[in-house]
Amino acid sequence: MSEVLTGKGPQPPVVYWIRRGLVVLVAVIVVGLLVWAFLPKGEQPTTGVPAPADTPTDVASDPAPSPSGSPSDDMPTPSTSPSGSPAAPTACEPIGVQLDLKGFRSVKSGGKQTFSVTAENNTALPCVMEIAPATFVLRVASGSDPVFSTAHCDKWLPEVKKQTLKAGATVEFKVEWTTFRSAQGCKQAKSLLGAGTYVATAAYKESATKRFAFALTKP
């Protein structure tokens, strides 16, 4: 040992310096092992870097489900009417109305022709039918000559109360014509019409129409 520390002996001096370094290294390792052996195992040496603080959980970012199991406020819910009943029927449209028109096939001039009109709801849904001067008109013509029209006088069209027609349901009413020529203001000509073929046309809102031909004979 004295030769290692003093460097005296048969070996070159550099060999002794290497031996001295090894002795110092062994001493340092022994001291480190002693320190580690006596250090409490539950503690860790501080490194001077503070441990990151626990991040509090944002409770509001993950809302808990409602006790009743209902969807949250931001989910759209289907809107329903307070009563839950379907929408009220709307007015019957001409495309869904089928008319039928009948009368006497032969009438004497100066006599009375009675037309029977039937309006049918030809759709799958109920609708509101109203027979009034604003929705219905019946005309009579001889070729291109207009002879009679209920539009000339409201009282020539019988009052038919507004009513809801179910799918396939009908409303029937009658229109009487005294075989005289008419004019605006409920006017009727006194002269008799000539014999011949006349055509009556029933129209609902000027779109749904039905025609009926008949003969007017001499009195």
pLDDT band, residue 10 (cuts 50/70/90): low
Find the mean pLDDT for residues 159-170: 94
Residue 56 falls within a domain, yes or no? no
β pairing state of 136-142 and 196-204: antiparallel
Domain shared by 104 and 209, yes or no: yes
Domain shared by 99 and 203, yes or no: yes
Model pLDDT for residues 180-209, shown as the tens digit of each residue: 999 999 999 999 999 999 999 999 999 999
Torsion of Cα atoms, 40 then 45 then 46 then 47, to 10°? -170
Residue 165 falls within a domain, yes or no? yes
User: CA-to-CA distance for 29 and 23, rounded, in angstroms?
Assistant: 10
134 within 8 A of 204, measured Cβ to Cβ: no
Dmax over Cα atoms in the chain, in whole Å? 170
Model pLDDT for residues 123-145, shown as the tens digit of each residue: 999 999 999 999 999 999 999 99
What's the CATH code of the domain at 126?
2.60.40.10
Residue 10 falls within a domain, yes or no? yes
Residue 148 falls within a domain, yes or no? yes
User: CA-to-CA distance for 75 and 72, rounded, in angstroms?
Assistant: 6
Phi and psi angles of residue 162, each rounded to the nearest 5 degrees, phi first: -65, 135
Residue 188 falls within a domain, yes or no? yes
Domain shared by 33 and 139, yes or no: no
- Give the percent of the chain with pLDDT over 90: 58
Q: What is the pLDDT of residue 18?
A: 78
Q: What value does the mean pLDDT of the chain take?
A: 82
Residue 163 falls within a domain, yes or no? yes
Domain shared by 128 and 208, yes or no: yes
Domain shared by 15 and 121, yes or no: no
Domain shared by 103 and 171, yes or no: yes
Residue 139 falls within a domain, yes or no? yes
Domain shared by 101 and 205, yes or no: yes
pLDDT band, residue 29 (cuts 50/70/90): confident
- With a CB cutoff of 8 Å and minimum separation 6, the contacts of 187 are 152
158 within 8 A of 173, measured Cβ to Cβ: yes
Domains: count for the chain:
2
Question: Closest Cα to residue 171, out of 213, 129, 199, 143?
Answer: 129
Model pLDDT for residues 48-93, shown as the tens digit of each residue: 545 555 544 554 455 555 555 544 455 555 544 455 667 899 999 9
Q: Could you tell me the residue range of the domain that residue 24 belongs to?
A: 2-38
Residue 81 falls within a domain, yes or no? no
Q: What is the pLDDT of residue 41?
A: 58
